[in-house]
Structure 1
Amino acid sequence: MSEMLKTQDGREIAYDRIDGAGPGVVFLGGFRSDKEGTKALALEAWAKRHGRAFLRFDYSGHGQSSGDFLDGCIGDWFEDARAAILELTEGPQVLVGSSMGGWISLLMAREYPEKVAGLVTIAAAPDFTEDGMWAEFSDTQRQELIEAGQVALPSDYSDEPYIITKRLIEDGRGRLVLRTPLNLPMPVRMLQGTADADVPVSVAVRLIEHATGPDIRLTLVKDADHRFSTPECLKLIELSVLKVIQRIGEVA
């Protein structure tokens, strides 16, 4: 049964947590995803097998947490992640960020490097509101967003369209990580599928070229899609987390 964390902003964040050895592992999900996804549950099972502390949670407007998805933005979801990580974990953590969760984990690493022992990103989507949405909108879509406050986009994952709000786009501009220096002093493992239709390989290459740090590696998986949830991909995520934990132990 999930527990609830009430944040300083009055939002209620649903979470599941297991105790274990540190550094703990925190899973950060993607845009419109929740903590019950395949990757989150597989990683939790791995953490249980290895006696490792683990946390998964829902951003506000996602899953079991309070709020309406359409009211949210990157800043809100970053604040939710920050509250969960700072209040529900002990010591530095290994953050595993999927898609948008990759962007949010990078924000955490930039703002709270002392709390982030290591990073594993899965199809990380930094700055996607600007580079993957606004940049690809037609003039008509941009005008609609500005005048109506939102625009509907078709979704590959459901019959319901994505509703993109003006607030999401405008707030995202204050959270960009690829326009200013991004130092990642912790071990970082980036995973990316070559058949990802949502986050192209060029994004992963741009991120690894932009970030600075002593131990950053990118692994490309041929034919893997954005879900990155095949048994082979899940195994690679687990292995990457283990490698990061081992590297942390070597450096300590």
Structure 2
Amino acid sequence: MSATIFLDTPQGRRLAYHLTPGAGPCIVFLGGLKSDMEGTKAVHLEAWARGRGYGFLRFDYSGHGESSGIFDEGAIGDWHQDTLAVIDELTEGPLIVVGSSMGGWQALLLARARPERIAGMVTIAAAPDFTEDGWWAGFDGAQKVQLMAVGRVELPSDYMEPYVVTRRMVEDGRDHLVLRTPLDLPFPVRFLQGTADTAVSVETAIRLLQHATGPDMRLLLVKDADHRFSDETCLKIIEDAVIVVRGHG
């Protein structure tokens, strides 16, 4: 495995990444909340892309993995800036964007910011607007009061250690919502979603499909797949989706 390389961003962050040269469009993997670029899907897709001679980029947002920063101090907007920095500095030409969970939200934000760069998109349990529709909407009165007064609330998770939700994460999330205004995806898109996902609901996937507009958009539901979406069957489904949106399906 190649050594980790670091990029210094205009915001003063130091982002860890691995870039595999190869034929375009380069595949860019956008990881989930508190995930990192060493996750099963990212590493598997990198090896798969290398075997086909495709370019591939995976990286850690600030406050994640090997990158600088503290997770509890970050927010959706910060990680959007990180995504733009690595895209603008490390890649050229068209991209195939693969976004997992929160990375799906980041992929949609990227589509708004750099639509001309994206040749195709695959999302895996995309979680757009989850700070508002998941966290804030799910808080009871006491939690909302605590968040606004103290600035943080701890939440349990089925997939990781309990994590802290900060007031800044929620308020910043409101500045980056994608399901309240038009969302045009003018390229092939495949939304992948497991029916046994307890972190992102099938209803969320359907809402995204119905809200977004584009010429070639499909939602694939995988029965009994969970949020990780990383067993052998699911990894093959992701591979197939990438092939399709590249235009070689």
- Tell me which residue corresponds to 2:52: 50
The amino acid across from 2:179 in the alignment is: L
CA distance in 2, matches of 1:125, 1:239: 21
The amino acid across from 2:10 in the alignment is: Q
- Tell me which residue corresponds to 2:125: 123
Q: 1:85 aligns with which of 81, 84, 87?
A: 87
1:63-142 equivalences under 5 Å are 63-142=65-144
- Tell me which residue corresponds to 2:195: 194
Q: 1:13 aligns with which of 11, 15, 20?
A: 15
The amino acid across from 1:202 in the alignment is: E
CA distance in 2, matches of 1:8, 1:72: 16
Q: Deviation per CA, 1:163-184: give whole Å up to 9, x if none.
A: 0000000000000000000010
Q: Identity across aligned pairs (percent)?
A: 62
Equivalent residue pairs, number: 247
The amino acid across from 1:64 in the alignment is: E
CA distance in 2, matches of 1:10, 1:157: 30
- Tell me which residue corresponds to 2:154: 152
The amino acid across from 1:30 in the alignment is: G
Per the TM alignment, residue 110 of structure 1 is displaced from its structure 2 partner at its CA by: 1.2
Aligned-residue CA RMSD in angstroms?
Answer: 0.9
CA distance in 1, matches of 2:100, 2:173: 17
Greater Cα offset, 149-158 or 127-136: 149-158
Q: Deviation per CA, 1:67-115: give whole Å up to 9, x if none.
A: 0001100000000011011111110100000000000000000111011
- Tell me which residue corresponds to 2:238: 237
CA distance in 1, matches of 2:119, 2:87: 12
Per the TM alignment, residue 157 of structure 1 is displaced from its structure 2 partner at its CA by: 2.6
The amino acid across from 1:245 in the alignment is: R
Following TM superposition, where does structure 1 have runs of at least 4 consecutive aligned residues deviating by more than 3 angstroms?
none
TM-score using structure 2 length: 0.98
CA distance in 2, matches of 1:246, 1:197: 32
CA distance in 1, matches of 2:229, 2:36: 15
CA distance in 2, matches of 1:107, 1:22: 22
CA distance in 1, matches of 2:93, 2:196: 36
CA distance in 2, matches of 1:141, 1:172: 17
CA distance in 1, matches of 2:26, 2:89: 13
TM-score using structure 1 length: 0.97
CA distance in 2, matches of 1:155, 1:210: 28
Structure 1 gap ranges (5+): none
Per the TM alignment, residue 241 of structure 1 is displaced from its structure 2 partner at its CA by: 0.3
CA distance in 1, matches of 2:106, 2:210: 19
SS at match of 1:31: coil
